[in-house]
Structure 1
Amino acid sequence: YPILDGNVRRVLARYHAIDGWPGKADVTRRLWAVAERHTPGEDVGDYTQAMMDIGAEVCLRRQPRCAACPLASGCRAHREGNPEQYPVSRPRRARHRRATTMVMARDHLGRVLLERRPATGIWGGLWSFPECPAGRSPERWFREQFGLEIKSGAPWDSVPHGFTHLELEIRPLPAKLVGTTTIVESLDRVWYKPGSSLGRGVAAPVRRLLEQLQDHPF
């Protein structure tokens, strides 16, 4: 029976210069077809072991030893001078893009409001600034969420932050609470004085923003 493990797949993909990522169904079918065509009617075990050995010891993923390969004379990738281009790597997933406004709200004592993020999702359980959804007025949103008025300042430069699946654009917005009325702290909501000991886990971009707040109060 033909075999198509990772090493043999690499040997055959290079020998025939089979383009495309092997994880795709049509590429897999082509590889199985050539694997069946090359499999001899006799001494299959010896052939299979030889192919596996070539893939493991000669036709290496990086810096293949083509000069020592017994299949080099018939290998298309070797003749083309680009064996490491085969097999084609798995395509990278396109990362989603999302923007969020982090409202850096200060009270009359110079403290900023932090909230604990939900346990699931990005930065699960860490502390961050309240996030106003894209397209919403931060002042109106803050009033709806907390029952207090804020006066926004000039937005800071956006901060890009990448995840494996997401490209997040953070838009920091400094704001001040109007008056001296404040928000009562809770298990998931605290007031923090920039520069003091935080004692809580925060996301890396939030930590950098807190450091900037210490140096550039508004």
Structure 2
Amino acid sequence: MTGPFAERLLAWFDDHGRHDLPWQHPRTPYRVWVSEIMLQQTQVATVIPYFERFMARFPDIDALAAAEADDVLSLWSGLGYYARARNLHAAARTMAETGVPETVEGWGDLPGVGPSTAAAIVAQAFDRRAVILDGNVKRVLARHAAVDTPQEAAATQRVLWVLADERTPGDSAADYTQAIMDLGATVCRRGTPRCDVCPVRDDCRAHRQGREQELPVRRRRKPKPVRERVLLWLEDGDGRLFLEKRPPSGIWGGLACLPVSETPDAVDRRMAELGVKPAGDWQALGQLRHVFSHFELAAEVWGRQVAPAAVAECHGEWHAVEQLVHEPPVGLPAPIQRLIRERGGAALGQS
């Protein structure tokens, strides 16, 4: 296949690109925006069911703007990177008052919308030329031009933006934007690139040099530190679980979570802070491990019954375990949601 980069890519997209994604039908600014935020650091297959549930509940900006934060977070539970949901909600409230932007600059002024996301929204929602540089595009360009400096470096980012601009055509903006993202996701993949079916392999420098596996260059990452914690599973006598709201910013910000103690020795102090009076002994319920971007969480899960007289005095919320398993009314961190489902509503003392 010969011709300019964009021409070859668009011809490939006609036959092999993704044309049936739910946010493409209809491809409105609202639907494109929500999908782009969900797709940040998350794969398409994971996003699709979340997107469809989100649209069913919040079909337009006004519906999202009028929602309570807990309602938004509950539909985001399990998708991770929860600051995205908080920013999405805040941006909807801004747009409900000021209107929907139509420029990259206007979208970039909204919380949670960076330069590449803003460009992707404008290109796909308004079919206007805008230059994107998400993770998939960076990988395609780094290989095609054999960029052999660490991708995280500021100088490399500047080079990639120039390469992206040079290859972006003046028309067919929506299709080109989807095409180059599709190429990175389905052909120019991270571990196993499918160079045999790539429409731009003939002038791909990495392919010519046999360096597909070497590029893009990534800095060697240091091992992540491990933080040890204790998660407190507290039940009342009616099959309800005690949850407390996390602070609005930081890890699991704004979500409902099992209370956390930094050390086993601090558990009694945490119980006192929560206003919880136990009934019975602690039970070891297992471990929970979860990897964040900058550290790994290793938590022991301790379970205990709460004295009925103390339930009303607790500084948190009580939710039926059965409801948390099937249809959580609040936003839950993905690992906490998995823990609840794995226990399947089993009472303390049961396996």
Q: Which has the higher strand share?
A: 1
Q: Specify the code of the residue in structure 2 equivalent to 1:198.
A: P
Matches within 5 A, 1:84-123: 84-85=213-214, 88-123=217-252
Query: Are residues 1:217 and 2:347 paired?
Result: yes
The whole-number CA distance in structure 2 between the counterparts of 1:154 and 1:211 is 18
Q: Specify the code of the residue in structure 1 equivalent to 2:320.
A: K
Question: What is the TM-score when the length of structure 2 is the normalising length?
Answer: 0.38
Per-residue Cα deviation, 1:84-135 (whole angstroms, up to 9, x for no partner): 5367422224322112211111123232111111111111101001111124
* Of 201, 205, 218, the match for 2:331: 201
* Of 205, 223, 246, the match for 1:60: 205
Contact kept, 8 Å, 1:93 with 1:165, in 2: the verdict is: no
Find the residue that maps to 1:207 and give its secondary structure.
helix
Per-residue Cα deviation, 1:112-166 (whole angstroms, up to 9, x for no partner): 1111111111111010011111242423431344252354433122121111112
Contact kept, 8 Å, 1:161 with 1:205, in 2: the verdict is: yes
Deviation at 1:200, TM superposition (A): 0.9
5+ residue gaps in structure 1? 1-5, 14-19, 29-51, 67-77
Q: For this pair of structures, how many residues does the alignment match? A: 163
Deviation at 1:22, TM superposition (A): 8.1
* Of 230, 244, 260, the match for 1:131: 260
Give the superposed CA RMSD. Answer: 3.7
Q: Which has the higher helix share?
A: 2
Question: What is the TM-score when the length of structure 1 is the normalising length?
Answer: 0.58
Percent identity (aligned): 22
| Cα 1:210–1:11 shift into 2, 3 Å | closer
Deviation at 1:83, TM superposition (A): 7.5
The whole-number CA distance in structure 2 between the counterparts of 1:98 and 1:12 is 36
| Cα 1:166–1:155 shift into 2, 3 Å | same
Equivalent residue, structure 2, for 1:190? 317
Give the 4+ runs in structure 1 shifted more than 6 A. Answer: none
The whole-number CA distance in structure 1 between the counterparts of 2:242 and 2:231 is 11
The whole-number CA distance in structure 1 between the counterparts of 2:152 and 2:336 is 39
Computing the radius of gyration from Cα coordinates, the structure with the larger value is 1
